[in-house]
Amino acid sequence: MQDGSTGVDLAQVVMSAAVGLAVTDLRGRLLRLNDAFAELLHRSVDDLQGRATAEVLSSPEGAHDVDGTVEQLLQGIPTVTGDVLVHRRDGSVLRGQTLSSLATTGAGTSVVLLQLLDAGTRGRRRPVGDHDALTHLRSRSAVLADLTTRLPARSGLVGVLTCDLDRFRVVNESLGHRVGDEVLVGVARRLLAGVRCGDVVGRLGDDEFVVVLGGLTDVAEAVDVAHRLTRSLAAPLEIEGTDGPREIRCAVSTGLVVVDLGAPPCPKAGPGVPALDAAALLRDANTALDAAKAAGGGCCRVFTGAMREEVIRRLTVENDLRRALERGELRVHYQPVVRLADHRRTGFEALVRWQHPDRGLLLPAEFLDVAEDCGLVTAIDAVVLEEALDFLVRHPGDRVAVNTSARRLDGTFATAVARGLRRRGLAPERLAVELLETSLVSGDATTDGELADLARLGVAVLLDDFGTGYSALSYLRRLPVSGLKLDRSFVSDLPDDVTSDRIAAAVVGLADSFGLSSICEGVETAAQAAHLAAQGWESAQGFHFGVPAPEESWFPRVGAPVPTVQVSA
């Protein structure tokens, strides 16, 4: 085709271009190709002409997905992109990308114009920002753009898989950023080798990668890819270091979401709201990835509706909690602690409650996990501590124990406690701090310092939920702990259960031999109280002695009606 005004023969220009171009029929047979296309494959034009694209663009890991590409083109998607890995006959490997679009011949037949790019020659063929400079994989925005072009198709399954290396920070910090970079490049190579042809691999940032899986037959196929990648990445990578090669193991966690583009849009989406968008898919894959990490890493999780609900719950609780702290919606209930010898009250444990404007009075189980994760727990603990100290001022004969998250032991806690006591003129012995056993076993220097400061101050430290932690008991010798609180799971089956009986007896023996006070939790019956008293336990808490209740329940104001105590545990 010659343009009369410029004298340019378009066909000739295309054939001589330095860009790999080919024309195939709708079954993928190569009808015409230019020299650049053949050169990329280290073959001749004559050798390739007439062959099937799936055979030419293939490796032991898979082949260019002709049917999937053509199907998407026929559905009206203007260009379909994919990654291909080609094992050339001379043993070299081409990491390439394909860009396919529909065209019509002079005779009116539909053909595919196939562009082949070498992903190794970065920066030349795409605008800057499309590729990650280190791994040459596509950038986050390029992957999102690719995904966006796929979504309008009204049939087929699309999968998005996000991957995150477990403990990559340790590699970077201990072996240096150069080794870290090599690990990332090695991971990128393995991902490319492990995906099917036509899948798109990108780097989202840091040690996060993404794979877009097209043309899936079912969810199981996507899960297979995820497992294959997880396995291949778990094998050690050989990295060249300054003192020779070294093997580095970097397990990976993956999160997968698969959507059926043919499924009717979610009714909740409403008119005008897109049912699916690329960013939402990525977010769902990341939610599944978080679940994989929470399960210990090195595994894959598939996104479910329940995960989305949990994310929404957490976000709602976090937002509401911030407001609750500003508006003073937190309350403190007090549960009595009694001496088992005579059932006389010796003090209280302060337990937080949330007077939610819509949901009523909430127990810690409804919000404390979120508060721990987002860090708000330290603000909650601070409110409860202040409230408990004010309580001690109002009730001079009493003692209070407050629960404290390990997060609060950041080097400022003991000082804050000392200041609170001093300001109110309170004796430190009237306050105790309860810490979960699990928060102490790490042997962290800041935590140890806080405990030593509390001990010097004269504030007792009690180990809460004792028996449920890892119990590397050596810390009992190292740390200035004052008492053990037996977890209520060991009390609930007493007095009949033999194992519980032995554990309770062993723990009280441990407390005695270390000179620690012993408190058992969750005592609900007179039989349990009698059994534990006989074993030698000093104090107890539980519904049998009193449920957690507001201050007025224990100290009715003169003239005011005594409030009815509601069970709040």
Question: Which residues of this protein are in contact with Ca ion, per CB under 5 A?
Answer: 403, 434, 464-465, 521
**Residue 264, token pair as written in the block:** 């009717």
Minimum Å distance from CB 462 to Ca ion?
A: 8
Quickly count: other Cβ atoms within 10 Å of residue 450's Cβ: 25
Q: Which does 405 bind (CB under 5 to 8 A by kind): Ca ion, ligand C2E, none?
A: ligand C2E
- Terminal CA-CA length for the chain: 84
> Min. distance of Cβ 400 from ligand C2E in angstroms?
11
Neighbours of 530 (CB within 10 A): 14
Cβ 485 to ligand C2E, closest distance in Å? 7
Residue 522: how many CB atoms within 10 A of its CB? 19
Strand 431-436 relative to strand 400-403, pairing:
parallel
Stretch that binds ligand C2E, among 52-60, 309-317, 318-326, 541-549 (CB under 6 A): 541-549
* Smallest distance, Ca ion to C-beta of residue 484, A: 11
Is residue 335 involved in binding ligand C2E (CB under 6 A)? yes
Contact between 565 and ligand C2E per CB under 6 A: no
Residues 420-449 that bind ligand C2E (CB under 6 A): 434
Q: Which of 80, 179, 384, 432 binds ligand C2E (CB under 6 A)?
A: 384
If binding is defined by CB under 6 A, does position 569 make contact with ligand C2E?
yes
Write the CB contacts of 560 (distance below 8 Å, at least 6 apart in sequence): 552
Of 211, 351, 431, 504, the one binding ligand C2E by CB under 6 A: 351
Dihedral angle sign, alpha carbons of residues 270, 275, 279, 281: positive
* Interface region with ligand C2E, contact rule CB under 6 A, candidates 110-118, 183-191, 397-405, 439-447: 397-405
Nearest distance, CB of residue 380 and ligand C2E, angstroms: 6
The CB-of-542 to ligand C2E minimum distance in angstroms stands at 3
Cite the beta strand spans of 141-184 per DSSP E. Answer: 157-165
CA angle, 330 then 481 then 514, to 5°: 140
Measured on CA atoms in the order 426, 429, 434, 440, is the torsion positive or negative? positive
Cβ closer to ligand C2E: 99 or 382? Answer: 382
Judged by CB under 6 A, the residue of 241, 356, 510, 543 near ligand C2E is 543
Whether residue 152 is preceded by a cis peptide bond, meaning omega within 30 degrees of 0, is: no
Question: Which residue's CB is nearer to Ca ion, number 135 or number 541?
Answer: 541
User: To the nearest whole angstrom, how small is the minimum distance from the Cβ of residue 383 to ligand C2E?
Assistant: 8
364 part of the interface to ligand C2E, by CB under 6 A? yes
Q: How far is the CB of 513 from ligand C2E (least distance, A)?
A: 24
Rounded to whole angstroms, how far apart are CA atoms 209 and 283? 13
Select 81 or 541, whichever has its Cβ closest to ligand C2E. 541
Of the candidates 492, 506, 499, which has an alpha carbon nearest to the alpha carbon of residue 536?
506
Q: Is the CA virtual torsion 289, 295, 296, 297 positive or negative?
A: negative
363 binds ligand C2E per the rule CB under 6 A: yes
- For residue 462, the minimal CB distance to ligand C2E (Å) is 10
Cβ atoms of residues 455 and 473 within 8 Å: no
CA distances (Å), 76 to each of 79, 101, 107, 143, 213, in order? 9, 10, 21, 20, 19
φ/ψ of 44, rounded to 5, equals -95, 160
The listed partner (Ca ion, ligand C2E, none) that binds 392, CB under 5 to 8 Å by sort, is: none
Give the separation between CA 20 and CA 14, rounded to whole angstroms.
9
Closer residue to ligand C2E, CB minimum distance, 282 or 461? 461
Instruction: Find the binder of ligand C2E among 288, 377, 433, 484 (CB under 6 A).
Output: 377
Q: State residue 515 phi and psi, 5-degree precision.
A: 70, 35
Between 230 and 541, CB nearer to ligand C2E: 541
18 contact partners, CB below 8 Å, separation of at least 6: 36
Contacts of 373 (CB under 8 A, 6+ apart): 314
State which residue, 166 or 465, has the beta carbon closest to Ca ion: 465
The answer to whether residue 541 forms part of the interface with ligand C2E (CB under 6 A) is yes
* Binding flag, residue 381, ligand C2E (CB under 6 A): yes
DSSP label at residue 121: S
Residue 551 Cβ vs Ca ion, minimum distance, rounded to whole Å = 18
522 binds ligand C2E (CB under 6 A): yes
Determine the interface stretch with ligand C2E among 139-147, 171-179, 286-294, 359-367 (rule: CB under 6 A).
359-367
The nearest distance, CB 529 to ligand C2E, in angstroms, is 11
Q: Which is nearer to Ca ion, 404 or 535 (CB)?
A: 404
Binding mask of the shown chain, residues 455 to 474, with x at each position contacting ligand C2E by CB under 6 A: ---------xx---------
3-state SS of 13-68 is HHHHCCCEEEEECCCCEEEEECHHHHHHCCCCHHHHCCCEHHHHCEECCEECCHHH
Q: Could you count the other beta carbons within 10 Å of the beta carbon of residue 174?
A: 9
Instruction: List CB contacts of 193: < 8 A, sequence separation 6 or more.
Output: 59, 61, 85, 232
Nearer to ligand C2E, 278 or 414 (CB): 414
Nearer to ligand C2E, 171 or 332 (CB): 332
- What residues line the site for ligand C2E (CB under 6 A)? 335, 351-352, 363-365, 368, 377, 380-381, 384, 403-405, 434, 464-465, 488, 521-524, 541-543, 548, 569
